[in-house]
Structure 1
Amino acid sequence: MGGMLALPPGQGPHQVGCTDVMVGHTRQGLFLRLFYPCLPRAGATEPLWVPRPEYCGGLADVTLGRRWCSALLGIAIGSCTVPVSWNGPLEPRSGGYPLIIFSHGLGAFRTLYSSICAELASWGFVVAALEHRDHSAATTYFCTAEAGREEWIPFQRVPRGQKEFYFRNKQDNLDLTKVAVMGHSFGGVTAVLALVKEPSFRCAVALDAWMFPLENLLYPEVPKPVLFINTEKFQTPESVAKMKRLSSRNSQTRIVTVLGTVHEDQTDFAFLPGKLFSLIFSRRGTLDPYKALAITSRAALAFLQRHLKLQEQFGQWDELLEGVGDSVAPDAPFGRSHL
C-alpha cells in the first residue's frame, strides 16, 4: 500500500534529514518533527508519514467523524513514507541555518505538512514542525517520567453551549525565540499571533490562515511583516478584511492567492490519489498539487530571504509576492469557508 501516497522530494540543493524531538515529561513539554539539510547516507531509511496507528484514529474522528474507520485508514495510508533520511547526519554549515517554526492546522499533527517542510529544508532551512498539546491536534501524546508510560491527548471539539471564538482563541499559544514562524489554517493565525507574543520572530508566513480566533485588539500590535498565501476556495470577506487591516499597518505584508486550490491543497493530503482524497474530503483543487507546492514554497522563500536578510538566490521569485505569475493572483477571491 506504500504507493497510495507519493510525497515529492525536496527540489532544493540539499538532501533532507528528519527526526522527532520530545522535551519534558508533561503536556507542557515540546514535541516536534525536525526537517534539516543532511549529508547523503547509504541505506537511509524513510520515516512513516503517519507515525503511529493512534493518529489514524484521531484523523478518522476529525475528518470523517467516524473513529471506527481508523483501521481502514491505517490500511490505506499506514505504510506510506516520507522521502527524507530518518536521523540522517546534519550537513555542517558555518554560521548555522535559519530556523522556521511550523504550526499545524486544527485537527492535524506534526507530519501532515511534510512536503512543504521538506521542500523548505532542501533550500537550506531547519524546519521545526510542532505538534500541539492543547487538544487542537487530531491526537498527540507525551511520555511521563515513569519509564515507558504514555498519555494521549485527543482532539477536542467546541463543547455544546460554548462560543467557538472564546474556545479557540485560548488555544495554540507559542512562546519560541527563533527566527521565523509559519503555519496553516489555525496554525496560520497562530503564526500571526506569535509575532505579537515573541519579539525574536522576524516575520510570519500564514498559509490559508483562519483569522477568526484573532482578537481585534491585537491588530495594531502585530509589528512584523506577514505573507498570507491563500487558496481560492477557503477565505471569507471577513477573514480577508482582517488580513487587509494588517497589510494597511505594515507595507511589507503581502496577500496572494494560489488559483485552482482548496484548503487541503496546502497539506500532504493533496498528494493522495483521487478516490482516497474524496473519501476523506469532499473536494480537491484543479491545480496540479506539485505546481501548487512549488508556488507556495517559492513565494515563502522569496519572502523569508527579504525579511531574514538571507544571502541566497530566492529573490528570483519576488514577483510571486505581488501576485504576478501563472496560477497566482494578488489579494484574495472569496469562497465558502470550510475548516
Structure 2
Amino acid sequence: MTPYKLPVIFCLCGCLVQVHPFGWSDLDPIKHIKSTGWYHNIQNLMRATFRDKHQIPKGKGSYSVGCTDLMSDFTVKGSLLRLYYPSQDGEYHSTVWIPNKEYFVGLSNFLGLHKFMGKFLAYYFGSVTTPANWNAPLRTGEKYPLIIFSHGLGAFRTIYSAIGIELASHGFIVAAVEHRDESASATFYFENEAAVERDNKSWLPYKCLHLQKTEYPKRHRQVLQRAEECSKALNLILDINEGKTVKNVLNSTFDLEQLKNAIDNKKIAVMGHSFGGATVIQTLSEDKRFRGSVHQNFPDFTFVTGKVIGYIFTLKGDIDSDVAIDLSNKASLAFLQKHLDLQRNFNQWDHLIEGEDTNLIRDNKC
C-alpha cells in the first residue's frame, strides 16, 4: 500500500503533536485534548465528515458475504488470513474493520507520524465495520474459485475489504494474507500455547528502511518471504478443502469443515496491491498452481474518510471512489473469467480490460 497520504488525514491533528500546546510530557494527551476546545472542534469536523458518504461499499454480486479470520500455527511461521466467502442468509453480525489498536499505531509509524496519531486513529475508527457477516455459515452446494490476496506495503489483511467483499459477492472465496516480513503496519503471533490461551499476542511492527543501500536487498528478501506465505496460504486452504483437520488458533466459531470440497482447485488466482503486486509476480514465478494476477488500486481508507477529508488530503481523485472501485472490480472479474475459464457473465466487462469506458484512458502504447 503506497502511503497515499492515507491517514495523513489526521495531519490536521498532527499539527497538535508538533506544537505540543498542552504540556503533556507526563500525562495522557487524549485527556488533555478532551479538556480543550480542540477536541470538540475535531469531533465536530469528524461528525460533519461522517454525515457524508463514507461507508465501505457492499458487494454488488448475487451472493451474501461472510467473513472470518484464520490462523494456523501460533508461531510467526504460521499463516494469518482474513477470509471472505459466499455465505448463507441469516442472523447478521457486522465485521470489525480494524480489530486491534496496534494496527492503528502501526499505520502512524508507517507514515512517520507521532505515536499519538495511532491513538487518534483508533479512537475515531476503532468501531468502523465492513458489510460482511462475521463468522456466517458458508453457502454450500457448489465449488468456488479461490483467490489469494497480498496486501501492500504498510497495510495488513483487513483493509482491502471493499475488494474482498465484492469478489465474494460474485462467488469467490478470497483469502487475504497478513504478511510477517515486517512490511505490514503490524501483525501478531503467539510465543507459546499458554499465550494462545491467555490471548497474549506478540506484535511484529513495521520496519522502516531509510538507507537506499540496504533497502533493495531487504525488500527483495521480503518479496521472497511474501511469495512463500502466499503459497503457504494456498496449501492451507487446499488442505482444508481436502478434508484435513486444521485447528484455527483464533478459536473462531466458523467451522472450517464447511470448506471441505468447497474450492474448485482448478480455478485459483493470486492478486495483490502495490508491494503485493510485486509479491504476485514473484509468486507466479515460483508456484505454477496460480493462473494470472490482478493489481488492485484502492484500499478502504478512500471510503471511510468522506469527501471533506478526502479532498483536503487527496485520498479521492476526480472520479468518485465508488465508481473507481467498481471499474477496477469489474475489470478484475472479467480478467478472472478469461484466465480461470469461469462460466459466469463477467465477460460483459471485457471492454474494461481494453480501457474502453468513459472514465478510462486507453493506453495506446500497449
TM-score, normalized by length of structure 1? 0.76
How far apart are the structure 2 equivalents of 1:164 and 1:332?
34
Unaligned runs of 5+ in 1: 209-265, 334-339
Structure 1 stretches of at least 4 aligned residues deviating more than 6 Å after TM superposition: none
- Contact 1:189-1:206 within 8 A present in 2 as well: no
Partner in structure 2 of residue 167 of structure 1: 218
Secondary structure of the equivalent of 1:153?
A: strand
| CA deviation vs aligned residue, 1:229-278 (integer Å, no higher than 9, x gap) | xxxxxxxxxxxxxxxxxxxxxxxxxxxxxxxxxxxxx1111112134446
| CA deviations over 1:13-65 (Å, ceiling 9, x no partner) | 000000000011211110010000001112x1111111111111111221352
* Equivalence for 1:99: 146
Equivalence map 1:142-291=2 (5 Å): 142-147=189-194, 148=198, 149-160=200-211, 162-172=213-223, 173-175=226-228, 176=231, 177=234, 179-207=268-296, 266-271=298-303, 272-277=305-310, 281=313, 283-291=315-323
Residue 340 of structure 2 is aligned with which of 292, 308, 327? 308
Name the aligned partner's letter for residue 320 of structure 1. Answer: L
What are the superposed Cα offsets for residues 211-234 of structure 1, whole Å, 9 maximum, x if unpaired?
xxxxxxxxxxxxxxxxxxxxxxxx
In the aligned structure 2, how far is the partner of 1:27 from the partner of 1:118? 27
Quote the residue 2:328 is aligned against.
296
- Report the CA distance shift for 1:182/1:77 in structure 2 as closer, same or farther (over 3 A): same
Between the two proteins, what is the percent identity of the paired residues? 41
Is residue 270–residue 289 contact of structure 1 (8 Å, CA) maintained in 2?
Answer: yes
Contact 2:302 2:315 in 1 (8 A): no
More displaced stretch, 65-74 vs 28-37: 65-74
> Does the CA contact (< 8 Å) of 1:110 and 1:129 recur in 2?
yes
AA of the residue aligned to 2:87: C
Which structure is larger by alpha-carbon Rg, 1 or 2?
Answer: 2
Give the CA RMSD over aligned residues.
Answer: 2.1
Distance in 2 between residues matched to 1:24 and 1:156, nearest whole Å: 23
- Any conservation in 1 of the 2:82–2:177 contact (CA below 8 Å)? yes
Question: Hey, what does 1:51 align to over in structure 2?
Answer: 99
Structure that is richer in helix per residue: 2
Letter in 1 for 2:69: D
How far does residue 329 in structure 1 lie from its aligned partner after superposition? Answer: 2.4
- 3-state SS of paired residue (2:330): helix
Structure 2 partner of 1:123: 170
| Counterpart pick for 1:139 among 166, 177, 186 | 186
Instruction: State the 1:188 CA deviation.
Output: 1.0
Q: Call closer, same or farther: CA 1:195–1:126 in 2, change over 3 Å.
A: same
* CA–CA separation in structure 1 for the residues paired with 2:348 and 2:213: 48
Report what 1:337 is aligned to: none
Using a 3 Å threshold, how does the CA distance of structure 1 residues 314 and 141 change in structure 2: closer, same or farther? same
Give the AA of the match of 2:290: F
Map 1:12-27; keep pairs closer than 5 Å.
Answer: 12-27=61-76
Residue of structure 1 aligned with 2:353, choices 312, 318, 321: 321
Which secondary structure state, in structure 2, belongs to the residue aligned with residue 82 of structure 1?
strand
Q: TM-score, normalised by structure 2?
A: 0.70
Q: Structure 1 residues 161 and 307, CA, compared in 2 at 3 Å: closer, same or farther?
A: closer
CA contact (8 A) 1:17 1:86 kept: yes
Structure 1, 64-73 or 24-33: larger mean CA deviation = 64-73
**CA distance 1:64–1:49, shift in 2 (3 Å):** farther
Give 5+ residue unaligned stretches, structure 2. Answer: 1-45, 235-264
Q: Is the CA contact (8 Å cut-off) linking 1:192 and 1:206 kept in structure 2?
A: no
Classify the secondary structure of the residue corresponding to 2:144: coil
